[in-house]
Amino acid sequence: MYDIKKWQHVFKLDPAKTINDEDLDKICMSNTDAIVIGGTDNVTEDNVIQLMSRVRRYPLPLVLEISNLESIMPGFDFYFVPMVLNSPDVQYQNGLLLEALKEYGHMMDFDEIKFQGYIILNPDSKAAVKTQAKTDLDESDIEAYALMTDKVYQFPIMYIEYSGTFGDMEIVRTAKQNVEQAHVFYGGGIRSLSDAQVAAKEADTIVVGNLVYTDIKQALKTVKIKELS
């Protein structure tokens, strides 16, 4: 069984975006620790199944980060469920989950499902707008969210999400310092190996998303953090 705690680097692929076979092959053969499939808009059963079947040919862990009920399907190693703790809309904390449990609860394998204490911090990101996340958080908020994730809900993952912009590493550090068992993911605005190195110093796992689509060469270089650590 795959051990998420050992992951240092993952690529997040958006099923609504196009990637050719050659680039996908490079990403999957890059020595990254896992591929996460997830996005905010236009995630459908059709585009998830297409991308899943293309990535499944490669021997690396494959995760579906759930964004809606329609695109949940069997065949992934893990299902990450974002519980957006800084959204005032309960739909993004447990509303979707309630619907998922009603529909699929009887057949869920809870060893495959990993709940994420998800904190969205780039106010301009699609995810922040969609969830109306309260992004102007200070260190004491982050400390409290870390405790909430780690001790209250005892989620295995805390995800600091800055999608689209490189985040405040103090925030990531604070999150990491205030969790005991939860594994800290950082994602957002990693555009080079040096960004990746900076983020990898603070987080347990870094997530590289958009760079795959804008500069595949730089994206592949970010995996080097594993050799340099």
Q: Which residues are annotated as a binding site?
A: 12, 14, 40, 159-164, 189, 209-210
Q: What residues numbered 157-216 form the site for ligand 1GP, per CB under 6 A?
A: 161, 163-164, 187-190, 207-211
Which residue in the set 9, 10, 11, 12 belongs to the binding site for ligand 1GP (CB under 6 A)? 12
Q: Which of 171, 182, 176, 170 is nearest to 203 (CA)?
A: 176
Complex with ligand 1GP: residue 56 or 191, whichever CB lies closer: 191
Positions of E strands within the chain: 9-13, 34-37, 62-65, 78-84, 113-120, 157-161, 183-187, 205-208
Minimum CB–partner distance for residue 173 and ligand 1GP (Å): 17
Distance CA 13, CA 38 (A): 6
Complex with ligand 1GP: residue 52 or 207, whichever CB lies closer: 207
Binding residues for Mg(2+): 14, 40
Minimum CB–partner distance for residue 192 and ligand 1GP (Å): 11
Minimum CB–partner distance for residue 102 and ligand 1GP (Å): 26
Complex with ligand 1GP: residue 120 or 148, whichever CB lies closer: 120
CA angle 190, 172, 48 (to 5 degrees): 50
Minimum CB–partner distance for residue 77 and ligand 1GP (Å): 19
Complex with ligand 1GP: residue 19 or 111, whichever CB lies closer: 19
20 CB-side CA count, 13 A: 4
Q: Cβ neighbours of residue 204 under 8 Å, at least 6 residues apart?
A: 5, 7, 8, 176, 183, 184, 185
Cα dihedral across residues 132, 133, 138, 143: positive or negative: positive
Query: Which residues contact ligand 1GP (rule: CB under 6 A)?
Result: 12, 161, 163-164, 187-190, 207-211
